[in-house]
Chains A and B, each alone.
Chain A
Amino acid sequence: MKLMKSAALAAAMALVAAGASADTLKIAVIDPFSGPFGPSGDAALKEWTFAADMINAKGGIVGQEIEVIGYDNKVNPKESLVQLQKALDKGARYIAQGNGSAVASALIDAISKHNKRNPGDEVMFLNYAAVDPSFTNDRCMFYHFRFDADADMKMAAVTDWIKDQDDIKSVYIIGQDYSFGKAVAASAVSDLEAKRPDIEIVGNELHPLGKVKDFTPYVQKIIASGADAMITGNWGADMVLLVKAAISSGFEGPILTYYGGSLGAAVAMGESAVGQVKAIVEGNTNLETTPEQNAYIEAFEAAYPDNNYYYHRIHNAMNMFKMAAEKAGSTTPKDVAFALEGLEYESPYGKITMRADNHQLLQPMFVSTFSDNVKRGVEDLPLGWVAGDEDRIEAEATALETTCNMERPAK
């Protein structure tokens, strides 16, 4: 009798669980929402939520409403796997993550294992910012799609810009000590060697991830080395504190960053960084664009007054996801993944394409400059990011060769 009772209870609970997961299309965002990288993850979660709200307002995806759920992983790969399991148990089959390639690497392994063991119940990984190039090369996976340019593509853009700056004779590379920082440094060295062999690399340094509170000693070293420009892939607090120290210690050359637009950076940099700090991005809020996009940006900033529209790639990811699901007529990860391959989307800043061979998005990139002459400022300041026509790099020009040998499941 007792056994019967518990069996019935279990069946009832399973029904409830199944009922809950059938209602909405869950996207689990596994990112840091606390600690030194909290602001980065939090800003991204808000943009995922907002993008989902906009789509839900127009009837959702194939009739299903999207639900975005955040899982705090504290940028820790082990913690991320715990959170992944929680998300899967809740019925999420779409995982979004961006902060930290170490985390993305752990997630790719775990998801690929899950997909092998559970045919018919696959999970898809929407990577919006983890840019270790290996994810779309040696380690490419059918269920992984990257909506941000990888570290090599960004470095190619940065070095293309440096190539034309004749007054830059020496460069200092500084980054975070983990796979991503190393990838940035390696591609900076090889790209500069190919494009400007006369440039001397006067420093190539890695610092511990998220541990340094005062970058002044590092900056002093950079200034003493006589570098004309600085290249950094830093993000989160590491980016803000590095630039803050560089500006207050009077570093005068251009600071080429991947993530200069991170939340909190503008306040820390202030007026003195104008014209000096550059960021390689897929869009900024001062670019010429469609009225719909301007309205979207304004609606986002009205909904979240503490944040600025920054992760345009999340907007792209959500819209391409919707297109793919509608093309496939299904929200099953396998169908969506096949539909995403080679998908083209007219984004507000030009046409973007999801490469079929390695699942890397090709999109126009912009070398944006921190400026005090802007229509739309960031963080309640009269300062923001601008890019002219000469700073635009076309989508096709960012494509690099891939070593990916994609294994596709049977349709």
Chain B
Amino acid sequence: METFVPSLLNGVIYGLLLFMLSSGLTLIFSMMGVLNFAHASFYMLGAYFAYTITQSTNFWFALILAPILAGLVGAGVEKWGLRKVHANGHVAELLFTFGLAYLIDEIVKIIWGRNAVNYRIPEALDFTIFRLYGSDYPAYRIFMLFVAISMLVALWFLLKKTRAGLIIQAALTHPHMVGHLGHNVPRIFMTVFGAGCALAGLAGVIGGNYLVTEPSMAVLMGPIVFVVVVVGGMGSLEGAFIASILLGLLQTLAISVDTTFGEIFGFLGLSGTSEVGSISIASLAPMIPFLMLVLILMIRPRGLMGDREF
């Protein structure tokens, strides 16, 4: 219990951070049918923009401005880059976003340097909010939870309850019909792409100081975001949500399990001191996302909630 409750809370927060990142990716995928390899780069851009903005103003400005900036960059990329490449098919688009990811990486290194920047939690949130089984719980984490949930509610409301959401949903599946009805489909695409990038940017703003802001953060986060989208089902927001929380929980909970293979499979004669027997569940935590990816693709290729095969 002592490790379970805090782990549960941490897992949910990490999961929500993952969802913030992957919701944009999955929206863009269902709209354009292309995986945006540069998506995690917008997460990184969000963190770096926030760092620069906090240097001259404060964190609260950054919280609003940095995602908008990341979104504008994203919209620009769609308008002047992806839209032109779109005519040449999916492979060209995929390669375009692949190249873009490297480009953003290098630009970040040139502007902000190769090392971690000192992007810190605002002082107003740098205190202990409550004690949980002997360990302090930082207020900033609860703030992250709050931001993530607000974003979740806002996104749900926008997509399901407003007219704009209705048009976006229609454009996702029937772009030609929506076009014939007189809506500007390319602009809808651009807006959705920008909004997806802004969400990734927001994740960067609140994740950058909670973790570390450095040029390799996109490369480290990228693969996990793809796992979320594939496990949840391509293009399914609900699926991405479930997969994010599941992944967050599994990864954090696994670390607190010290049981070794030897103890689990002891009845099969596996000794706790042998090479395989001495591996503990905790040491497997970093590979759990990828194990899930492989298993899902084998057992249920369309993902948990997806309606099309990858």
Q: Bound state CA distance, A212 and B285, in angstroms?
A: 10
* B128 near A250: Cβ-Cβ < 8 Å: yes
B109 within 8 A of A: yes
The 0/1 profile, CB within 8 Å of A marked 1, for residues 134-147 of chain B is 11111000000000
With A42-B115, A219-B135 known as contacts, the answer to whether A206 contacts B283 (CB < 8 A) is: yes
Question: In the complex, how many residues of chain B place their beta carbon closer than 8 angstroms to a beta carbon of chain A?
Answer: 34
A77 at the binding interface (Cβ < 8 Å): no
On whether the beta carbons of A217 and B255 are closer than 8 Å, the reply is yes
Q: Which of B137, B220, B258, B282 contacts A213 (CB 8 A)?
A: B220
Task: Name which of A39, A211, A217 has the most chain B CB atoms within 10 A of its CB.
Answer: A217
**In contact, A38 and B210 (Cβ under 8 angstroms):** no
Whether a CB of chain B sits under 8 angstroms from the CB of A267 is yes
Which residues 59-114 of B sit at the A interface, judged by CB distance below 8 A?
Answer: 109, 114
Query: B residues within 8 A CB of A36?
Result: 116, 212, 214, 216
Q: Which of A13-21, A149-157, A163-171, A220-228 lies at the interface?
A: A220-228
Which residues of chain B from 1 to 22 have any CB-CB distance to chain A below 8 Å in the complex? 2-3, 6-7, 10, 14
Q: Given the known inter-chain contacts A214-B14, A216-B10, A217-B252, please indicate yes or no for A250 contacting B116, CB distance below 8 A.
A: no
Chain B: which residue is nearest A236 at the CB level?
A: B116
Nearest residue (CB) in A for B109 is A34
Among A135-189, those with CB < 8 Å from B are 177
Asked if B186 is at the interface of the complex by the 8 Å CB criterion, the answer is no
The minimal Cβ–Cβ distance linking A311 to chain B, given in whole angstroms, is 17
Which residues of A (180-235) have their CB < 8 Å from a CB of B?
A: 203, 205-208, 211-214, 216-221, 223-224
**Cβ of B175 < 8 Å from any Cβ of A?**
no
Any A CB within 8 A of the CB of B118: yes
Q: Which of B118, B135, B210, B282 contacts A220 (CB 8 A)?
A: B135
Is there an interface contact between A38 and B114, defined as CB atoms closer than 8 Å?
A: yes
Do B3 and A35 have beta carbons less than 8 Å apart? Answer: no
B161 on the interface (CB 8 Å rule)? no
Q: Quick check: B115 and A220 within 8 Å, CB to CB?
A: no
Q: Are B216 and A35 in contact (CB under 8 A)?
A: yes
Report chain A residues within 8 Å CB of B128: 248, 250
A-B interface contact total, Cβ < 8 Å: 85
Flag whether A111 is at the interface (Cβ < 8 A).
no
Chain B: CB-nearest residue to A223: B135
Q: Complex formed: what's the CA distance from A33 to B210 in Å?
A: 23
Check A35–B7 contact: CB distance below 8 A: no
A203 to B256 Cα, complex, angstroms:
11
Determine whether the beta carbon of A208 is less than 8 Å from that of B286. Answer: yes
Query: Is A264 an interface position by the 8 A CB rule?
Result: yes
Contacts of B7 in A (CB 8 A): 217, 220
* A405 proximal to B (CB < 8 A): no
A220, B212: Cβ atoms under 8 Å? Answer: no
| B residues near A206, Cβ cutoff 8 Å | 283
Most buried by B among A207, A213, A220, A264: A220
> A228-265: which have CB < 8 Å to B?
237, 241, 248-251, 264
Q: A221–B286 contact, CB under 8 A?
A: no
> Is the C-beta of B163 less than 8 angstroms from some C-beta in chain A?
no
Across-interface contacts of B10 in A (CB, < 8 A): 214, 216-217, 220
In chain A, what residue has the closest Cβ to B221? Answer: A213
Give bound CA distance, A206 to B286, whole Å: 12
Mask, B252-285, CB within 8 Å of A = 1, is 1001101000000000000000000000001100
Check A220 against B211 for contact (C-beta < 8 Å).
Answer: no
> Most chain-B CB neighbours within 10 Å: which of A39, A207, A250, A251?
A250
Instruction: Check: B131 CB closer than 8 A to any chain A CB.
Output: yes
The reply to whether the CB of B215 lies closer than 8 angstroms to some CB of chain A is yes
Shortest distance from the beta carbon of A377 to any chain B beta carbon, whole Å:
16
User: Do A267 and B135 contact each other (CB < 8 Å), given the known contacts A35-B216, A216-B10?
Assistant: no
* CB-based contact B116/A39 at 8 Å: yes
Q: Contacts of B14 on A, CB cut-off 8 Å?
A: 214
Does B133 sit within 8 A of A, measured CB to CB? yes
Q: In the complex, A212→B251 CA distance in Å?
A: 11
CB distance from A15 to the nearest CB of B (A): 36
| A214-B14, A224-B2 given; A34·B215 CB < 8 A | yes
In the bound complex, residues from chain B placing their C-beta under 8 Å from that of A214 are 10, 14, 210-211
- Chain A contacts for B135, CB-based, 8 A: 219-220, 223-224, 249-251
Decide if B3 touches A39 in the complex (CB within 8 Å).
no
- Interface positions of B (Cβ within 8 A of A): 2-3, 6-7, 10, 14, 109, 114-116, 118, 120, 128, 131, 133-138, 210-212, 214-216, 220, 252, 255-256, 258, 282-283, 286
26 contacts between A and B (CB under 8 A): A34-B115, A35-B216, A36-B212, A39-B115, A39-B116, A42-B115, A177-B283, A206-B283, A207-B283, A213-B220, A214-B210, A216-B6, A217-B7, A217-B256, A218-B255, A220-B3, A220-B6, A221-B255, A223-B133, A237-B212, A237-B214, A248-B136, A249-B135, A249-B136, A251-B135, A264-B118
Which 4 A-B pairs give the minimum distances between C-beta atoms? A250-B136, A34-B114, A213-B211, A217-B255
Known: A214-B14, A214-B210, A224-B134. 20 other contacts (CB 8 A): A38-B115, A38-B116, A42-B115, A205-B282, A213-B211, A220-B6, A220-B10, A220-B135, A221-B255, A223-B133, A223-B134, A224-B3, A224-B135, A237-B214, A241-B212, A249-B136, A249-B137, A249-B138, A250-B131, A251-B135
